[in-house]
Structure 1
């Protein structure tokens, strides 16, 4: 289906012009709400739900989250007899990661097209994908009568995806619409591949306690560093074991599919003192078929083994607690109608359907947990996400919007 190219380009440019960091999405959402309304969408709005988020296993304690004035939006188009057909959700997020302006050669929030590319923070991740969803929905609406389509299309612009999916978690868990949802496409940058499985992640904070002493008499203290090294080696051994034991066909290309990363390590407070306290923040990969709790138990057991071998650690046990956001792995069956329709639409546009596993988390897991079949498919390469001079190719955006339009129409016909 043809999309309104000039309007699509301008919508992307407007979206990218907003500095919509996590917690600062209100301005872009105000503009987006009006824009959707002007385009003929009926707009629904919801704020983060503290009670739901506090009970949700993905999120840290709700008092640590910034939830004020962070609306998510859903623009609805009704086709034919809307109650006689399914509802397809087209989803994108409006928040972007922070910018180090000194590393950019082009203004990060002054978007401009150059040589067929749009530069700006969020151009790739993922405001172009969100705009592509808007005009894909409108392209379907324009031909709905001709195709005899019934049902609804919802275009969602959600907040807090970079913080674990605040807006999507609430939309999935507390349906903000007076109708059910049957399928979803999330237009994250996948280089026009179909992401049908995603790795999860466990975030843990390890603390080890020693005893300080003057550096001239180190034997009178207990340094935390040798204990940390034993824990680190034990965890890395478990990482290697898991890479061999836990397998998934879409992750075989990765040398280390479920990695562990010691992202921060802080120890000691003075060069002339034995370090008596160490804190390390650790990210642990979780396979799509695993649970965060199950992987957590494996690493807890390995830590307990290290502790049991040390008289000091037995008497001064480390702490090993969750922090930040936890991502469950996710996967959708390839024979779900929405997956098949996206694959067919891509093929019709000359793109050989490519099914991939994604090594990061997406909002798809929230919709899948709610029983809504969801596939991730969108323009641009994730390799450019979060990078200086972030940009996207116009041809990819246009093509993605056309494919999403065709897939949406075909999905509406599938139910």
Structure 2
């Protein structure tokens, strides 16, 4: 079985599926592999046809069953100091190296390696495979696939997201809302600054307000998460053209990593009210064309599944661990859960290696993942 996982992982790593690139070559390779084992696949393309989700079902038709879900895109290697080729498998010291080996082509390789065994075993419930695109840029691609599942009369009941958790079952993570704020001021020569509206200065007032709002968020706590409260930060800012020109434009990007029970829109609404009541009137006394605009960039919901549920107890048994946890990073799990499919997260490798140079997954972790899939197969057997 290890040889099968290694062979498939080497093939998956050879595709550069950085989110800015197409994933079709990899998706078509997976579709062909599944077809070789008698499994049909359905593709859900993006608007320009350059990327696709893949959805396939093994076993009997009908509702219920389990989804094994993972994303096919990876983060860039630009600017990272790799000592090994990123888009090839290198085996060394009990590890497989390559971009996406941990996040999360290692899990995909295990799932695909287990397909022949699932096909050979009569199943009493369907097993669904859901492989997505553009997870790394805001869980964007999977939404068409989730919408299809939600509308289906044969909706699955359970979902395992195979993000790297060192095969530790995970029941929760925070959600994320990313926004861009664009400030339009009024330029003039810096010798006459009172005649202008400094876009950078007003953006700084908004950022200061965000600090206050972030302090408010920290008052609501949930000890199951680390940090145990919703967080807010400004990640990028740009503006101005020359030191002797009052800047006309400034923009900054912010994100809220929020607890599952928090609505981040309340924070954005508070920032809008501050802009409209405190800042814009002063700006427009100089120039009525001044403005502050907010643009959504991406959003995905948090996940909070009952760790005492029957599904959780089953997954714990399949993993050989009865200890559940939360993770700091986001997944597509909240979207499946919102669609009515009970979702947990468990997969090989660690996010400590994800997104870094010389990313790797331990072979022992892949072995444990294959053992989990074998237990799942036994539970689903007719």
TM-score calculated relative to the size of structure 2:
0.89
**Contact 2:68 / 2:128 at 8 angstroms: preserved in 1?**
yes
Q: Deviations over 1:300-348 (max 9, x none)?
A: 334445427x62367666423223221222322223332221112223x
Note closer, same or farther for the CA distance 1:166–1:222 as it changes in structure 2 (3 Å cut). Answer: closer
1:155 is paired with a residue whose SS is strand
**Contact 2:44 / 2:145 at 8 angstroms: preserved in 1?**
no
2:45, 2:116 → 1: CA distance? 28
Note closer, same or farther for the CA distance 1:223–1:403 as it changes in structure 2 (3 Å cut). Answer: same
Q: CA deviation at 1:408?
A: 5.5
1:208 is paired with a residue whose SS is strand
Residue aligning to 2:367: 398
Note closer, same or farther for the CA distance 1:298–1:96 as it changes in structure 2 (3 Å cut). Answer: same
**Contact 1:133 / 1:187 at 8 angstroms: preserved in 2?**
no
2:378, 2:269 → 1: CA distance? 44
**Contact 2:172 / 2:303 at 8 angstroms: preserved in 1?**
yes
Q: Following superposition of structure 1 onto structure 2, how do residues 192-211 of structure 1 map, counting pairs within 5 Å?
A: 192-211=167-186
**Structure 2 unaligned spans of 5+:** none
Q: Deviations over 1:240-264 (max 9, x none)?
A: 111112x22321x317x42222222
Please, which of 345, 348, 357 is the counterpart of residue 376 of structure 1?
Answer: 345
Residue aligning to 2:269: 297
**Contact 1:116 / 1:393 at 8 angstroms: preserved in 2?**
yes
Note closer, same or farther for the CA distance 1:322–1:286 as it changes in structure 2 (3 Å cut). Answer: farther
1:15, 1:29 → 2: CA distance? 10
Answering whether residue 217 of structure 2 is matched by residue 238 of structure 1, we say no
Q: Deviations over 1:374-398 (max 9, x none)?
A: 1111111112211111111110111
1:404, 1:298 → 2: CA distance? 47
Please, which of 95, 98, 108 is the counterpart of residue 76 of structure 2?
Answer: 98
Between 186-195 and 162-171, the greater mean CA deviation after superposition: 162-171
Note closer, same or farther for the CA distance 1:208–1:338 as it changes in structure 2 (3 Å cut). Answer: same
Residue aligning to 1:339: 312
1:271, 1:342 → 2: CA distance? 59
| Alignment RMSD | 2.7
Residue aligning to 2:112: 134
**Contact 2:206 / 2:271 at 8 angstroms: preserved in 1?**
no
Instruction: Give the number of equivalent residue pairs.
Output: 378
Q: Following superposition of structure 1 onto structure 2, how do residues 11-410 of structure 1 map, counting pairs within 5 Å?
A: 11-22=8-19, 23-38=21-36, 40-48=37-45, 67-78=48-59, 82=60, 86-100=64-78, 103-136=81-114, 138-139=116-117, 144=121, 149-175=123-149, 179-245=154-220, 247-251=221-225, 253-254=226-227, 257-304=229-276, 306-307=278-279, 311-312=282-283, 318-347=291-320, 351=321, 353-356=323-326, 358-407=327-376, 409-410=378-379
Q: Deviations over 1:350-394 (max 9, x none)?
A: x452321x3332111221111000111111111221111111111
Between 149-158 and 185-194, the greater mean CA deviation after superposition: 149-158
Q: CA deviation at 1:182?
A: 1.2
Q: CA deviation at 1:102?
A: 5.5
2:18, 2:325 → 1: CA distance? 31
Q: CA deviation at 1:33?
A: 1.2
**Contact 2:162 / 2:347 at 8 angstroms: preserved in 1?**
yes
2:44, 2:33 → 1: CA distance? 19
**Contact 1:224 / 1:275 at 8 angstroms: preserved in 2?**
yes
Q: CA deviation at 1:157?
A: 2.2
2:54, 2:101 → 1: CA distance? 19
2:366 is paired with a residue whose SS is helix
Note closer, same or farther for the CA distance 1:70–1:226 as it changes in structure 2 (3 Å cut). Answer: closer
1:102, 1:243 → 2: CA distance? 34
**Structure 1 unaligned spans of 5+:** 51-66
1:409, 1:294 → 2: CA distance? 46
2:336 is paired with a residue whose SS is helix
Q: CA deviation at 1:177?
A: 7.2
**Contact 1:290 / 1:329 at 8 angstroms: preserved in 2?**
no
Note closer, same or farther for the CA distance 1:239–1:306 as it changes in structure 2 (3 Å cut). Answer: farther
